[in-house]
Amino acid sequence: MAQVLEFKLPDLGEGLTEAEIVRWLVDVGDVVAIDQPVVEVETAKAMVEVPCPYGGVVTARFGEEGAELPVGAPLLTVAVGATSAPGSAPSADPSGSTGPSGSSEEGSGNVLVGYGTAAPAARRRRVRRETAGPAAVPVTPAPVTPAPADSAPANSAPAGPAAPAPAGLAQLSPAPSDGPVPVISPLVRKLAREKGVDLRQLRGSGPDGLILRADVERAVAAPVAAAAQASDPAPAQAPEAAAVPAGAGERVPLRGVRGAVADKMSRSRTEIPDATCWVDADATELMAARAAMNAAGGPKISLLALLARICVAALARHPELNSRVDMAAREIVRLPEVHLGFAAQTDRGLVVPVVRDAHSRTAESLTAEFARLTEAARAGTLTPGELTGGTFTLNNYGVFGVDGSTPIINHPEAAMLGVGRIVPKPWVHEGELAVRQVVQLSLTFDHRVCDGGTAGGFLRYVADCVEHPAVLLRTL
């Protein structure tokens, strides 16, 4: 008999409370497999395909495209064990179970933050499966290797060197077999599915064994290491431990986005003699001006767009900072256009999309372009042309809740403006102590293109525009 299970919108691991339905990937009556993406949702931070932890027939959907749902609200219901749609085969659980034998067997076992596919994760993590038979998915036997001493479970006891598991036992018992697989985000599950990585074969490096994106990437890069993770923890004194130098620690490959960032930052520090200056500014009037602009109707203006307009105006007054250094010719090349880069943090690492011709754009156009490039950065669809050719970078690290920083110049550019968080602070305003919205601005510049006077003049002009937005009218 079919069992109808309700799948609720999970916490996507971003600290958000709601998400907007962008596109349904299934219809009522469709047969879905376990972990198949069923809906595409957009949060304030990313666009995500959400996989369903149940396999069966979709019986209902909740919410139309464009609707905003809170975390924990029903997304859809699935009839597990029901007769499939005409002309299609009934769905089957990957473990080999073909009937409704309880919710613990119907779900994928993978856990998203905020919900589980069956019993609560905290309890299931400590319950070892007792059902194993010929129907279980075969698992390739792997030799047992020692786990780092700091990764051993708290309830484990010292034991002698572990021997390789018998082949027959390894094929009948999934590894690990002590409960659901903890997964921190649908993005991690999607990556594992695309790369063909079985999450049950991974031992997470996150808190309480959570599987992180880095764990999946290491499994893709090193199949041997992935097989070792599938083994049960072994004591540190196992014979294989002798091959690992004492205190070697974990090795994370510098590749992909992380490797590109490492190369560029190292080159910047090696080749550019940089210096940093900073100033605190009263951003109360800027915030009020933005609120007034958005209250007047029309497209909303982002704070980043206003800061970009200020940067463009400042670069028009101090073109030395919109330049590059050609050491082969021993020349400073001042650039006529402003192609404004902005730092964007994604699940794949830090990227710097570039807004072309920022000097000729309005605040509305800048807002739209920032939104488009940010969405593409999070989706991983930025083109090489959208990531190169910048002449100046704006870095809003205030979104991380920090006040100040010393930015590293995005080589081969000549400067970067950093913006900290805007927070209420005591401030002397018109001769009296008041609580104002204060921000710290930092400018890192290439000392070859200008001296401190030019850099200070640029930063002071930016601060004046932040404190008195009407100053911008002189340049419009």
Kindly list the catalytic residues. Answer: 447
- What is the 3 state secondary structure string of the chain? CCEEEEEECCCCCCCCCEEEEEEECCCCCCEECCCEEEEEEECCCCEEEEEECECEEEEEECCCCCCEEECCCEEEEEEECCCCCCCCCCCCCCCCCCCCCCHHHHECCEEECCECCCCCHHHHCCCCCCCCCCCCCCCCCCCCCCCCHHHCCCCCCCCCCCCCCCHHHHHHCCCCCCCCEEECCHHHHHHHHHHCCCHHHCCCCCHHHCECHHHHHHHHHCHHHHHHHCCCCCCCCCHHHHHCCCCCCCCCCCCHHHHHHHHHHHHHHHHCCEEEEEEEEECHHHHHHHHHHHHCCCCCCCHHHHHHHHHHHHHHHCHHHCEEEECCCCEEEECCCCCEEECEEECCEEECCEECCHHHCCHHHHHHHHHHHHHHHHHCCCCHHHCCCCCEEEEEHHHHCCCCCCCCCCCCCCEEEEECCCEEEEEEECCEEEEEEEEEEEEEEECCCCCHHHHHHHHHHHHHHHHCHHHHHHHC
Residue 19, strand partner residues: 69
Closest CA to 66 of 45, 41, 37: 41
How many CB atoms are located within 10 Å of the residue 186 CB? Answer: 22
Cα–Cα distance for residue pair 251/450, rounded to 1 Å: 41
Cα-Cα-Cα-Cα torsion 421, 422, 424, 428, nearest 10 degrees, comes to: 120
Cα–Cα distance for residue pair 267/259, rounded to 1 Å: 12
Q: Is the peptide bond before 86 cis (omega within 30 degrees of 0)?
A: no
